[in-house]
Chains A and B, each alone.
Chain A
């Protein structure tokens, strides 16, 4: 069998697995989506207010906080995995909570992974939002909460980009999922850990099916974002 035949056959089988609704494939997809969506939601709820606090105010040590955040952006996923592992392993501080190798542990790790991304990107949005957005709202008689809503509205595309970037990073990460989820079939096995495992087992078509779905998800996020940007003209 030539190299091209091998690739074409694998692709055919992969598409077959997707089309036939293979349980193992969609179980991994489901875990990926559940964990990434939950982690993205939590990160958004925590990260955007944090971005306003850190980037929208002057305080002692602000530069240091921003430098640390920027450093955390490049943090390898396995290091985050290791860090969280050290807290939740059975003999550690949070051991009694029995989190290791659960989806909760994966979500915990992914929130830590995504938080610097959301804070830094949303922070840039806060900074780039003209000072006069806030001042204009104030001159029109807006109270503090209204001012915040207006700033979120005016910077909506930048904030959405921050959230999409975080989701993109989480859906495709493997280190945290592997170390904290343990790749337990049907429970914590997600797209990326399944790809890593099945490829090493020689199940290339299965891995390729998951790879295709991952690509579609990434493309989907980008299309949604593009569409939102296109609609962003008049709010």
Chain B
């Protein structure tokens, strides 16, 4: 899709947030496209939570513009800002649930929006089902575990059916069995036309949720987290698992099936002029289509039916005598393919 055709729901420009003298966020430009799932990934202290809070209007930036739904959120008069805030919601990592039942917690935001009672019931029931909370609906929310609380918080967001949902570490304390429900709820939000921006410190989860991953390091945008990010189907053939990407079959270790995202670490791929006989399951012939230098390494892009990036030391590169257009083989183990 061309850049002009993209519909941007949040545009952040020249944003700086400072606590004391220390800038915790410094982002020249960041855009989130409408109707997609975006993931902010980074370690603790990277500024993910602060960014979500600024986007939701809970925190004012020290400087910069946060345009949400086409308007500078922090420059709006109070009533208009409230109207904008009602079009989105933020679910905290440690959610606060009101001292009442799970069901009434989910209803809370709907009451502020004067939703009529039959629609309110329908939305609450549907959110309870999606997040596997039907049996807990009459329990006092304060008696739940942290993971259950996170699911209630997400159900509360789901019921609002907002245009933009901000999720801070949505599965941080959720047990393994219910993680997929939370991730499915994210997809459901997107399917309903909602834009989701989720923050996580877990790279695997980030790519499970979306290919639109923004990496933050110490409040700044960092280079994309992964090279050789692939989207394809896991298929089983002759007792082995393959990742099928655009007709190219790659040996991969996966017990799952269906659509997945996967990545291959560029330094785990061996590039050679001749086919190498080894234990590595993958040996793909291809052609070098781009070459560049990165510090002491050479970065080669090889077309093997799909484009893969390979990192080689300058010494090895010189020994191999690779040039643009060279025919090469890429060899890597099935275990070098990380399936998310």
Contact = CB atoms under 8 A, between A and B. Distances in A.
Nearest to B156: A140
B109 A141 contact: yes
B100 A138 contact: no
Interface stretch (B91-99, B201-209, B327-335): B91-99
B198 to A, nearest CB: 15
A130 B95 CA distance: 11
Contacts of B108: 140
A231 to B, nearest CB: 11
Contacts of B100: 234-235
B171 interface: no
A232 B90 CA distance: 27
Contact of A132 (B85, B86, B94, B109): B94
Q: How large is the interface on B (under 10, 10 to 19, 20 to 34, 35 or more residues)?
A: 20 to 34
A98 interface: no
B140 to A, nearest CB: 5
Please indicate which of the listed interface residues B57, B112, B156 has the most CB atoms of chain A within 10 Å of its own CB: B112
B113 A136 contact: no
B140 A146 contact: no
Contacts of B89: 139-141
A69 interface: no
B144 interface: no
Nearest to A131: B96
A150 interface: yes
A132 B99 contact: no
A138 B109 contact: no
A234 B137 CA distance: 12
Contact of B98 (A135, A141, A146, A154): A154
Contact of A138 (B85, B98, B99, B140): B85
Given A141-B82, A233-B140, A136 B99 contact: no
A135 B156 CA distance: 14
B96 A136 contact: yes
A136 B92 contact: yes
B86 A141 contact: yes
Interface of B: 56-58, 82, 85-86, 89-92, 94-96, 98-101, 108-109, 112-113, 140, 142, 156, 160
Q: Which 8 A-B pairs have the closest CB atoms?
A: A140-B109, A141-B86, A132-B96, A136-B96, A139-B90, A141-B112, A235-B100, A234-B140
Given A133-B98, A140-B160, A153-B99, 10 more contacts: A132-B94, A138-B58, A138-B85, A139-B90, A140-B108, A140-B109, A141-B109, A141-B160, A234-B101, A235-B100
8 contacts: A133-B98, A136-B92, A140-B112, A141-B82, A141-B89, A153-B98, A233-B142, A235-B98
